[in-house]
Amino acid sequence: MSKITRRTLLSTLAMAPAAAAMAQTEAPPEAAVYIISPRDGQRVRNPIVVRFGLRNMGVTQASSAARNAGHHHLLIDVDDPVDLKEPLPSDKNHLHYGGGQTEARIELTPGRHTLQLVLGDADHRPFTPLLQSQKIGIFVGSPRAAKAKK
């Protein structure tokens, strides 16, 4: 590779993140994301099946450029507000469903937890306006307590 070509390539790469940060994907009007189940305040047991609801938009895979579509993110025990300018983090509290899933089976420690859905675009960034569900609280029973009831 010649010196000039190499420099051109590097400057092109350097520009890419800035361009990505500027463009925010707009959600269509009346779009809404919600948790179908479990319900707010519900007592559940592992494994917990969480069903994702989405109105007026489609579910697609991560990195898909389909219009008016995105993929679900499940936020577990997250208190901080979503950063509107950054891709959603990927860690044990921010689960990505980039395969286009509309439900998830999760395991949580016994006790209280919160669940919330956020729809993300092809690059895992929140839409404008932000599409997030109501944050629900659930109580996960311990397997021991479940057995004792029988």
Backbone angles phi, psi at 88, to 5 degrees: -65, 140
Measured from the CB of residue 50, what is the shortest distance to Cu ion in angstroms?
Answer: 16
Residue closer to Cu ion, measured from CB, 82 or 140: 82
**Closest CA relative to residue 121, chosen from 58, 32, 30:** 58
- Residues 124-143 close enough to bind Cu ion by CB under 5 A: 124
Measured from the CB of residue 124, what is the shortest distance to Cu ion in angstroms?
Answer: 3
User: Which pairs with CB-CB distance under 8 Å and at least 24 residues apart come from 58-64?
Assistant: 59/100, 59/101, 59/102, 60/100, 61/98, 61/99, 61/100, 62/96, 62/98, 62/99, 62/120, 62/122, 62/124, 63/98, 63/122, 63/123, 64/122
Residue closer to Cu ion, measured from CB, 35 or 124: 124
R_g of the chain, CA atoms, integer Å: 19
Measured from the CB of residue 67, what is the shortest distance to Cu ion in angstroms?
Answer: 18
Residue closer to Cu ion, measured from CB, 46 or 68: 68
Measured from the CB of residue 95, what is the shortest distance to Cu ion in angstroms?
Answer: 9
- Residues 67-126 close enough to bind Cu ion by CB under 5 A: 96, 120, 124
Taking a C-beta distance cutoff of 8 angstroms, is the pair 133, 116 a contact?
A: yes
Residue closer to Cu ion, measured from CB, 30 or 91: 91
Measured from the CB of residue 1, what is the shortest distance to Cu ion in angstroms?
Answer: 34
The one-character DSSP state at 62 is T
Residue closer to Cu ion, measured from CB, 96 or 113: 96
Residues that bind Cu ion (CB under 5 A): 96, 120, 124
